[in-house]
Structure 1
Amino acid sequence: MSRVTDRSGADRPMLDTAWTRSLARGEAPDGASLQDHLLAVHGANAGFTEACASRCQDDRGRSSYAWLAEAIDPARHRDVLDLACGSGPLLELAHARHGGRLRLTGVDMSDAELALARARVPDAGLSLRRGVAQDMAFLADASQDAVLCHWALTLMDPVAPVLQEVRRVLRPGGTFAAIVDGEIDDAPGYRAVHDLIYGWVQRAYPAYGRFDLGDVRVRDTQALAALARETFDDAQVRIEPSVLYLSDPPETLAREAAGFFYAAFVLSAEANAAMLADLAQLLRETGGAQPTFAMPINRLVVTRAPD
């Protein structure tokens, strides 16, 4: 099996999933193959989302986790759900900020990620559940005061059932907040990085980009707002843009920046190395010895009307 090099420099198997096989045939992958693909990525690289996101900060010094956690209001929120909690950084942050005032629940479909979350959060009352966002039957109706989702809504397809499940479990007056991709041109230089990585991936999978992870509406600010208002017709919906920044030497920053792109995981070892070399050169040309990677993000905040 072909191998690619991860962020630490160690070799790992190249991904071969139903999703990538569909792409190779030029076919649109279905929801089941998407879940299979995401499980393969996170099973082999548990914690990588946190590793990529934790060091990036906005112009106020906040990570995307910290900005999302600001949606928790301990005066109004008691039961808080972290949807697609991954390795648990957001749960850990919520616990550190608010201690025993919150009843925290984390849901994720990856056992590998849940194991990391379980090890890191020192809260005996923490509930961790394995499941998919489209079906959270283990949670009662109107059982949560706040539902948070860090950078996972972008990956979910179908996404409409996810929003319907969030509405079902969210109490009147509750808050749903999510970090998602921002508009591609909202951060300087981001399009060039995106296009370079996708260019390499499309040499192996020409359909990549035409078929991408998740529902494309989540990556479009206006379409996401319309989708949220369609589901939460009793709610105030707002989308707040921001930009995250990370600076490092070019070779290090190339590996860090590529780690934000699921597309990079499908490259062969040789293609991955060549892509990283090209990306490092691009960063060096635009930023010198200590370039900056800028990434656009949006925070979706939905506040349901009280009874």
Structure 2
Amino acid sequence: MTAQTSRSAYGGSPPANYERYFVPAIGAPLATDLVRLAALQPGERVLDVACGTGVVARLASPQVGVSGRITGLDVNPGMLAVARSATPADMAIEWHEASAEAMPFPDASFDVVLCQMGLQFMTDKPAALGEMRRVLMPGGRLLLNVPGPTPQLFAIMGEALARHASGDAAGFVDQVFSLHDTAQIQSLVAGAGFHDISVQAETRSLRLPAPEAFLWQYVHGTPLAGAVDQMDDDRRSALEHDVVIKWQRFVKDRALVLQVRITVATACN
């Protein structure tokens, strides 16, 4: 894959590319961890906040069975369109387009609220957590995860984007990993009124595609796609060169190996 052909190779919408590339490499492994930790039970009502293309919701559905209910909520209609198309016909999941800070659900509607890699993007985090608590029944459970601090691999990408694209593009990478301090997360969750809070961090090792492929898959599956599409071929080539050269030290058996710290918070209402 070259910078010149990247646009034609990844010509789908960012949400479609996100589901096709990001979810298998990063989203699904972390979602599997989160759903396993949730220990969902048959019949439970589960809300997936900032559901994206729905990987958490799809993994949760078999755990609650036909007597349970899975609902996904996201502010991005493109993500929800892909979520609907990616959901098997025999899997009943409700999808809602709305902000996490103002959910369209009655109080005490759910037994479990899950939120994967979404809280860091929310403008009003206390309000979003307050809404998560409001829609949980008494005794209900909250589980969320966030990545960070910025892994070396993504720091290299961010620095190259700042040089060759824009500060805003680099800022997106920073925002992905902006919420990771365990004390801050503990304070946010406690401030929303939750109790029995646990905040734990561990480093996960994920095998990604080869450097050239992963660079363009990530770019074209995120809001970075618009910024990079504005660049000419020379600048895209320079971006690719700078990133791929420095990523070589993270390659093992032709795969890019990402070491990323994931913080998981659990709490009860």
TM-score (norm 1): 0.71
Letter in 1 for 2:72: G
Q: Identity over the aligned pairs, expressed in percent?
A: 22
Name 1:15's counterpart in structure 2: none
Find the residue that maps to 1:226 and give its secondary structure.
helix
Q: For the residues of structure 1 that align with 2:59 and 2:91, how far apart are their CA atoms?
A: 15
* Corresponding position of 2:15: 46
Distance 1:289 1:211 in 2: 26
Cα-to-partner distance string for 1:64-97 (whole Å, 9 max, x where unaligned): 1101111333348711001121222222212234
CA distance in 2, matches of 1:171, 1:233: 12
Q: Which residue of 2 aligns with 1:19?
A: none
What are the superposed Cα offsets for residues 32-86 of structure 1, whole Å, 9 maximum, x if unpaired?
xxxxxxxxxxxx41144432132249xxxx7011011113333487110011212
Distance 2:201 2:185 in 1: 12
The CA deviation at 1:9 is 2.3
Whole-angstrom distance in 1 between the partners of 2:92 and 2:139: 24
Counterpart check, 1:70 vs 2:39: no
Partner of 2:79: 113
- 1:130 paired with 2:97, answer yes
Query: Contact between 1:85 and 1:149, CA under 8 Å: does it hold in 2?
Result: yes
Moved over 6 A (4+): none
Shift in Å, 1:148: 0.9
CA deviation profile, 1:101-135 (whole Å, cap 9, x unmatched): 42111111222222222231435642211111110
- Deviation, 1:147, is 0.8
1:81 to 47, 54, 59: 47
For 1:9, the equivalent position in structure 2 comes to 9
Equivalent position amino acid for 1:278 in 2: D
Question: AA paired with 2:238?
Answer: A
SS at match of 1:219: coil
Q: 1:160 to 1:206 in 2, by over 3 A?
A: same
Q: Could you list the runs of 5+ residues in structure 2 that have no partner in the other structure?
A: none
The residue that corresponds to 2:131 in the other structure is: 165
* Counterpart contact for 2:201–2:262, Cα < 8 Å: yes
Give the TM-score normalised by structure 2. 0.80
Change (3 A) 1:180 1:197: same
* Counterpart contact for 2:197–2:268, Cα < 8 Å: yes
Give the one of 239, 254, 258 matched to 1:290: 254
> Following TM superposition, by how much is the alpha carbon of 1:221 offset from its aligned partner in structure 2, in angstroms?
2.7
Deviation readout 1:10-41 (Å, 9 max, x if unpaired): 458xxxxxxxxxxxxxxxxxxxxxxxxxxxxx
Q: 1:276 aligns with which of 236, 240, 243?
A: 240
Distance, in Å, in 1 between the alignment partners of 2:202 and 2:249 is: 27
Deviations 1:139-189 (A, max 9, x none): 1111111111121212111222111111111122211112211233xxxxx
CA displacement 1:218-245 (0-9 Å, x = unmatched): 2323222222222234332323323131
Which residue of 14, 25, 31 maps to 1:55?
A: 25
Looking at structure 2, the residues matched to 245 and 261 of structure 1 have their Cα atoms a distance apart, in angstroms, of: 19
CA contact under 8 A between 1:144 and 1:170: conserved in structure 2? yes
- Does the Cα contact within 8 Å between 1:47 and 1:86 map onto a contact in 2? no
Contact 1:118-1:128 at 8 Å conserved across structures:
yes
| Equivalent of 2:191 in 217, 227, 230 | 230
| Residues 208-227 of structure 1: CA deviation (Å, up to 9, x unaligned) | 549954794x2323222222
Question: For the Cα contact (< 8 Å) 2:40–2:60, is it kept in 1?
Answer: no
Tell me, what secondary structure is at the counterpart of 2:73? Answer: strand
Number of equivalenced pairs: 260
